[in-house]
Amino acid sequence: MTRVVLSIGSNLGDRLARLQSVVDGLGEAVLAVSPVYETDPWGRMDQGPFLNAVVIADDPACDGQGWLRRAQEFERAAGRVRGERWGPRTLDIDLIACYGDTEEICREDNLTLPHPLAHLRAFVMIPWLAIEPDARLTVAGGPRAVAGLLAELEAADRDSVRLTQLTLKPKGKPPVERESEA
């Protein structure tokens, strides 16, 4: 396995810096970084908005479990405490899909690939399509165009994902502007 699609999000503290920490941590493995979007919370609504982005990375040494370990290391470094489902997060990283020669299908206790809810989340699909317009994701029934899956969502879901002027930069690029602590 080499290529991964990661959805990254934060709604606590310096949200942008937390997202940038993932891009920085992946370093040369980063192939593409989406624009940054502000999104309404998903699942539990009584919390602040998230900043979300998608990162596509490549590392021939990582399979799905390797990418999961890396994601969890980034979350721990950002002070992530696992507790409430769909609650506030300093940093949340979801593995959306992993690809080698084909898309990895995984059903293990700690990892399901492709992500079982990705096709229901506009905050995943909109940033992903911004950097990979022809993206495909396996759902029940087989591989589907992400653009088609997004079109099936309610307009309110799509409208809850708002493009910002914030950007994430791969290592070696100029620094991004920072949010003030919230």
The residues annotated with a catalytic role in the active site are 80, 89, 92, 94
The angle at the Cα of 2, spanning 56 to 105, to the nearest 5 degrees, equals 90
Residue in the block written with tokens 């994701």: 137
82 burial (CB, 10 Å; 0-12 / 13-18 / 19+) is exposed
Rounded distance between C-alpha atoms, residue 23 and residue 181, angstroms: 20
Q: Count the alpha carbons within 13 Å of 31 in the hemisphere toward its beta carbon.
A: 13
**Angle at alpha carbon of residue 110, lines to 23 and 27, rounded to 5°:** 15
Q: Is the peptide bond before 175 cis (omega within 30 degrees of 0)?
A: no
